[in-house]
Amino acid sequence: MSLNSARDGELQRTESGDGAPGAPGAGARRGRRRWLVAAVVAVVAVLAYFVLSRVFAGQASSANAAKGGALRAVPVVATAARTGDFGVYQNGLGTVTPVKTVTVRSRVDGELISVAYREGQLVREGDLLAQIDPRPFEVQLHQAEGQLAKDEAALKNARVDLDRYRVLIKDNSVSGQQLDTQAATVDQTEAAIKSDRAQVESATLNLTYSRITAPASGIVGLRLVDPGNIVHATDQNGLLVITQQQPITVIFTIAADHLQSVLQQRKSGHELPVEAWDRELKRKLATGALLAIDNQIDPSTGTIRMRAQFANEDSALYPNQFVNVRLLVDTLHQTVLIPTAAIQRSPQSTYVYVVKPDSTVEMRTVEVQLTEGDTTSVQKGVSSGEVVVVDGVDKLQPGTLVALAKPNGARQQNP
């Protein structure tokens, strides 16, 4: 029993690590266990540090992103859709054409002694323009009047003789032949007087023609003949040119495809307004009305010519000036209007970005009816009062938060 007890005690000491001092490797095993435990603890601590750091960093990043996202709303320029009338225009190219262009020529031959106008002056019909030396025509008039007076005296004497022969024929004092001859003399003298009166009228007319007056109101061009020159009725260049500029007309063309719409409006008795714009379509020069339509279409261009008349009281239109013409053929009433810059196009559809009450944008498909300059008429897709983005759409996607900015860059209150 004592021997077994001694073995058991020795075995227990060996398992509990209290081996005999001479037991081989006991101390080394205890050192390795300590280092292994320390290494495991260190690894766990490092892993825990990295995991917790990433979690806290993610939370902070999310918070900062949310905060930054709220501050980095996309600035855009937007405007509200409105309801109004929209004009349907037909555009064409035109040339300003005077109502009258008159080349003033002399109707008699003579010396041009004076000019009573200034180049570029506005003259009225009947105003004196030039004077041809009237003295030769005055002499002709005096000669014609003298011949008329002479023949009138001869006629008076011939009539007296005729009355005397009629009395004498009853007494057979004269022959019937003498009576007939005297009657013929009276008739010849009366005919001569008619010719004399025509000569007087001709001389009077020539004297009148020596005083050249304006045949129409308008602007006088540059002088073609100076005083002192001998002018003739057969001269081709004339003395001056007058162009009537108030009113004035514009001859323009539009596509023949739109002719029927114009004719329908004219048949209805509507006066079609016409606007004349400058070469770059930036400034309106005048407003008038359609005056006439040509009677045939030009087959080479597929266009038809029309004439519009303008009062031109401010002389904004000048003869032979090139203008762009806009003919109003119809008006759409109470239609939704938005800026043309808001319209975006993709291969699939035409759309706009609409700003919702929460300051995010929605992509809305629209149906465009007509576009004229900076304004577009929308038939479907946008209602009056809705705010559409005009500038900054290249940075937008559906749901993007936006901040409305004025055109100069300052922010404005969101709708």
3-state secondary structure labels for all residues of the chain = CHHHHHHHHHHHHHHCCCCCCCCCCHHHHHHHHHHHHHHHHHHHHHHHHHHHHHHHHHHHHHHHHHHHHHHCCEEEEEEECEEEEEEEEEEEEEEEEECCEEEECCCCCEEEEEECCCCCCEECCCCEEEEECCHHHHHHHHHHHHHHHHHHHHHHHHHHHHHHHHHHHHHCCCCHHHHHHHHHHHHHHHHHHHHHHHHHHHHHHHHHHCEEECCCCEEECCCCCCCCCEECCCCCCCCEEEECCCCEEEEEEEEHHHHHHHHHHHHCCCCCEEEEECCCCCCEEEEEEEEEECCCCECCCCEEEEEEEECCCCCCCCCCCEEEEEEEEEEEEEEEEEEHHHCEECCCCEEEEEECCCCEEEEEECEEEEEECCEEEEEECCCCCCEEEEECHHHCCCCCEEEEECCCCCECCCC
- 191 and 232 belong to one structural domain: no
Across residues 204-219, what is the average pLDDT? Answer: 95
Q: How confident is the model at residue 150 (pLDDT cuts 50, 70, 90)?
A: very high
Q: Choose the weakest-confidence range: 11-20, 63-72, 207-216.
A: 11-20
Q: How confident is the model at residue 12 (pLDDT cuts 50, 70, 90)?
A: very low
Look at 306 and 374; give whichever has higher pLDDT: 306
Q: What is the pLDDT of residue 196?
A: 95
Asked if the model's pLDDT at residue 8 lies above 50, the reply is no
- Out of 309, 332, 355, pick the residue that ends a domain: 332
Domain range holding 177? Answer: 140-206
Q: What is the pLDDT of residue 374?
A: 87
Domain containing 163 — which CATH number?
Answer: 1.10.287.470
**Domains in the chain: how many in total?**
4
Percent of the chain with pLDDT over 90: 61
Across residues 1-6, what is the average pLDDT? Answer: 42
Q: Choose the weakest-confidence range: 42-56, 80-94, 238-252, 270-284.
A: 42-56
Q: What is the pLDDT of residue 414?
A: 44
Q: What is the pLDDT of residue 54?
A: 64
Across residues 341-361, what is the average pLDDT? Answer: 91
| Domain-located, residue 19 | no
Q: How confident is the model at residue 2 (pLDDT cuts 50, 70, 90)?
A: very low
- 117 and 229 belong to one structural domain: yes
Q: How confident is the model at residue 370 (pLDDT cuts 50, 70, 90)?
A: confident
| Domain-located, residue 214 | yes
- Out of 242, 259, 287, pick the residue that ends a domain: 242
Q: How confident is the model at residue 183 (pLDDT cuts 50, 70, 90)?
A: very high
Asked if the model's pLDDT at residue 176 lies above 60, the reply is yes
| Domain-located, residue 268 | yes
Asked if the model's pLDDT at residue 120 lies above 80, the reply is yes
